[in-house]
Structure 1
Amino acid sequence: MVSGAGETTTEPVRPVWALTPLERVGPLHFGMSADEVRAALPEAFELKCFSADPFYPDIYGLQLGFRSAVPAVHAYFDRVDRLFCVAADAAHGPRVTLEGLELTGRVPAVLEDTVFDLYSSPVRRVSYGPRGNPGIDDIGMVLRVQDTAGGVLTRPVLVGREWADRCTDDWEGSVPECEWLGRQWRVFEGSDVWPRPGYATNWPPGWTPPF
């Protein structure tokens, strides 16, 4: 893993990571250990290790970047240290592609229309979670959005086969709580952010969102 020494201000070329649904995204295979993820990304900076879900304290995440202090990838591990979820930062993350369709850093409405055209079928059914975030459970994909300097852009969140059931459900699926926070794809209960202003969460004392 690259150290913080030698930081430059030049934005590196963002790698292209092909998604093989339920199996891998770029060099990361679902089921890898944290050490295997580090070995698979020798060029990355490890920026943070954090508690990813207030209700499941054994779930943790690694925040990785291709530049010091600039998050690009969030990798999540279950209680037995298996990689089960990967999220690509909308502004600085790898350009994740699915069958040639780029998922990272897209205008949400444009990508939404394309995903519906290509994948809305009895085999690959696009669905929306309770807070209005779209995805396809059958391929372990959730499409989130993120505020960036260039506007609101897409942030793909991918899970492996064992964790794909109901992955678009932000109440019952496997995607960690921290990945559902912030800007939402659609307005939910009058707000386009979660938690909405004034909402009292039931997070256990001591847990705060890691980013």
Structure 2
Amino acid sequence: MAFKTGVAERDDWSYSPTVGVGPLRFGMTVDEVVEAAEILGQTKVSDCARDHAIFSPTWKVEVHRRGVAPSPPAVTAYVSQVVGLFCIAADAVHGPQVAYDGLPLVGRDLSELESDAIAHAEAMDVHFRYTPEGYAGPDDPGVVMRGQLVGQVLRSRPLFMVTRDGANTEWDSMPSEEYHVIGQSTA
């Protein structure tokens, strides 16, 4: 499974709530994430800032596409000392495509994704939800939609998550590095 450029050429990764995305499984250690990710590309491990004292030390594993140097991470995985892998972020430009019940989530224009999420919910007689910032996505607590500025367009950068130590929800578990629109601060 190699990462490919262009939205039409993206690898397809499956998402299983509370289980994982593609080859990454929630609960993995840093070493297990690196081992699983190395078949996809080069990895870089770094410490995350400890912005909230309730959380155990956390590491960020960035996976860069093989053969593209330098490139932004295609996937960023966050691993807590206590619960292991708890968050997987797919880059809007370089990341694999991940769908939720047939609805593509990665690299979409956020206004188009909202229209498609509404149409999907009506057709399937299910719900959809908005994040506090107003991004629409599936009604699944394990999927948190984020924005990533690509040129002049805000594109979707989904986070696939489980709760981490000391948190009540996935939203509470979100790594501080993901609290901004990638490419532009919201603070």
- Confirm or deny a common fold (TM above 0.5): yes
Within the candidate set 80, 85, 96, 1:94 is matched to: 96
Aligned-residue offset at 1:140: 0.6
**Runs (5+) with no aligned partner, structure 2:** none
Partner of 1:108: 110
TM-score, normalised with respect to structure 2: 0.77
CA distance change for structure 1 residues 161 and 180 in 2, over 3 Å: closer, same or farther? closer
Determine if contact 2:10/2:95 at 8 Å carries over to the other structure: yes
Determine if contact 2:114/2:137 at 8 Å carries over to the other structure: no
Aligned-residue offset at 1:149: 3.6
Partner of 2:11: 15
Question: 2-side partners of 1:153 and 1:117: how far apart?
Answer: 19
1:166 to 2:174 alignment = no
Q: Name the one with the larger helix percent.
A: 2
Tell me how large the CA RMSD over aligned residues is: 3.1
Within the candidate set 21, 28, 44, 1:32 is matched to: 28
Question: 2-side partners of 1:123 and 1:11: how far apart?
Answer: 33
- SS of the aligned residue for 1:80 comes to coil
1:54 to 2:51 alignment = yes
The structure with the largest alpha-carbon Rg is 1
Report percent identity of matched pairs.
31
Aligned-residue offset at 1:125: 4.8
Aligned-residue offset at 1:138: 3.6
TM-score, normalised with respect to structure 1: 0.69
**Runs (5+) with no aligned partner, structure 1:** 1-9, 185-191, 196-211
Q: Across the two proteins, how many residue pairs are aligned to each other?
A: 174
Determine if contact 1:63/1:75 at 8 Å carries over to the other structure: yes
